[in-house]
A and B are shown apart, each in its own frame.
Chain A
Amino acid sequence: MFAAIHTREDRPGGLSYCLLRLAQEFSPLVEQTAADTVALAADGLERIHGLPQQIAAALARRAVERGLQASVAIAANLDTAVHAARGFAGVSVIPYGDEAKYLGSLPLTVLQPTPEMQETLERWGIRRFRELAALPELGLAERLGPEGLRLHKLARGAGGRPLVPVAEPLHFEEEAELEYPVELLEPLMFVLAQLLNGLRARLASHGLATNELRLRLKLENRGEHTRMLRFPVPMLDTKAFLKLLDLDLGAHPPPSPVVKVWLEAEPAKPRAAQTGLFIPLAPEPEKLELTLARLRGLVSEGNVGSPELLDTHRPGAFQLLARPLAPSPARPLARSLPLRAIRPPRTARVQMASGQPVHVQADGVRGHVVASAGPWRTSGDWWTIDPWARDEWDVALSDGALYRIYSAQGRWYVEGSYD
């Protein structure tokens, strides 16, 4: 059983929304047939409202309460209900089997035929449903084709089209109000595990995963603590989510006891990947995310990542990207002896003779210079507020190691050792 609501009002912008909301008050399965018409599945409403007439009356009453002048129709099939709502004012209930009889008086414009089809039918003198329904099916098919047959079927009230429900935007949020303020992380994780299980079940039922979790905590001091976890690929692993939340809250604990928890998941299509024997080794994204979170917890946030060289000649200029596998531009190879950096460079005392270093002394580095090359003068960024300039030397010390030392602004530093 289907119900249709149609209005001839002209309310710019909000009419279809109002009709949709009105229909959704009665049924979760609602079709937006046109801007001025909605249809809904009315099966099961008998148990709430009673007979079909009473269902139609309830719909009409609710429309009036919402300030809509709407016509309401109920029929056994969707198209009949829609046409009746469009054609008849007020409330109509079309009994099953009498569709052709009830719809017969309606004008053909209700069927919304194409202009050419309407012109043809008018030339034939066909202006009402009953006149079209009375035409022989075979002859109509020969002259008007499949579209003519479709209209003939609709005019007889024999349409069998299924309802196409409006897809509601999916919102995945779970919340829990705590009986008493929670101060420790462990009981909070217990609550979060329950919320995550709920979210996971709802996401799985829609065949979805999530690539972002948003946690909102209402605190006892009326403040709020929010955290957001973003994942490189959509995931649906409750244990991984829980561990990531645990690690994140461990690193950024709420400043006050928690009284209410909201957890929201951003839906995303799950990752589809095919594995193979000859695919290079790379950690699974879900496991890598967990490993990275654990590493960040161990050595702090800014110390884990994939290095990327900056586009500058300034020595030691690089940045750490959050995770590996981010594509970076290829650089030409310029082979040189690898350097082991000392960060920050160690201040040194260097004795010079005839313009060349003869003795170097710094924390952990001490010796006579056995061989040296330099100075190599480099400078850059002189057009900015942070210029740099230095004289570099490569030295072999009597302790057996090779070092790179440099002088800048009158001071000496050991930058690293060659290895």
Chain B
Amino acid sequence: MAAVALGRDFEFKMNRPEVCPTGLAEVDAMAGGLPQGCLTEVYGPASSGRTSLMLAALAQSTGRENVCALVDASDAFDPASAAAAGVHLERLLWVRCGGNAEHALKAADLLVQGGGFGMVVMDLADTPAVHARRISMTSWFRLRRAVEHTPTVLLVVEQQPLAKTCASLTLEMRRERAAWSGAPGAPSCARLLRGIRVHVDRRKPVPALAASFESCW
């Protein structure tokens, strides 16, 4: 019996993918990190902390000297913010797609097929939902298949979940509140936007878990 239990345990551990930490302790404790060789979805509305999580993950990966790629569908990436978040820009390949989601999908496919990247991020966060929903499930399956059995983390940032069954990990982001310095009634010239508190729900895999973190508190 003991041998059978040991065998099960060993098999279970063998099937678990390696994970890459996000750099956010609360999220790592809840979700266990971003799985390698899998597709991870991060979605939520504007100002919900998606970019904070994305940059934290990129900072972690480039900090371990991996070369990463960012497919920026809407040309929204701000290098100054990324550098401030600790991303090593010299280890980041930035592909600007000028608002073309189809180009973003093809670019992500090329990067994943090319191989050798520690993390490939597809940023569809500003792509209108109407356009994003036009991406067929076949394309997501193709991406998932391409990244399988590779040490690459494929992270997709979006407004609504798109990859559905193709995603191994799905995180929903929501802003709890914004923190402003100064007294509530103080004039705006005496206040400062200090950061946001973000609530993260793990939607997939089950069971659903939740965590909160502060972005630049």
Q: Which A residues form the contact surface with B (CB < 8 A)?
A: 280-284, 287-288, 290-292, 294-295, 298-299, 303-309, 315-316, 318, 320, 323-328, 331, 333-343, 356, 371-375, 393-394, 396, 399-402, 416-419
Contact = CB atoms under 8 A, between A and B. Distances in A.
A417 B110 contact: no
30 contacts: A280-B64, A282-B65, A283-B116, A287-B115, A287-B116, A298-B110, A299-B97, A304-B95, A306-B93, A307-B79, A307-B82, A307-B89, A318-B80, A320-B94, A333-B83, A335-B85, A336-B216, A337-B215, A338-B55, A338-B85, A340-B51, A340-B77, A356-B187, A371-B178, A371-B180, A372-B188, A394-B193, A401-B46, A419-B52, A419-B125
Given A306-B90, A373-B193, A402 B47 contact: yes
A284 B91 CA distance: 14
Contacts of B100: 299
Is chain A's interface secondary structure helix, strand, loop, or mixed overall? Answer: mixed
Given A324-B91, A373-B193, 9 more contacts: A283-B115, A283-B117, A295-B107, A303-B98, A306-B94, A325-B67, A336-B81, A343-B76, A372-B188
Interface of B: 45-52, 55, 64-67, 75-86, 89-98, 100, 103, 106-107, 110-111, 114-118, 125-126, 151-152, 175, 178, 180-182, 187-189, 191-193, 195-196, 215-216
Contacts of B152: 281
Contacts of A419: 46-52, 125
A414 to B, nearest CB: 12
Nearest to B216: A337
Given A307-B79, A401-B46, A299 B103 contact: yes
Nearest to A400: B45
A298 B45 CA distance: 29
A289 to B, nearest CB: 10
A345 B189 CA distance: 23
B110 A418 contact: no
Nearest to B184: A371
B116 A306 contact: no
A418 B193 contact: yes
B114 A283 contact: yes
A193 B154 CA distance: 35
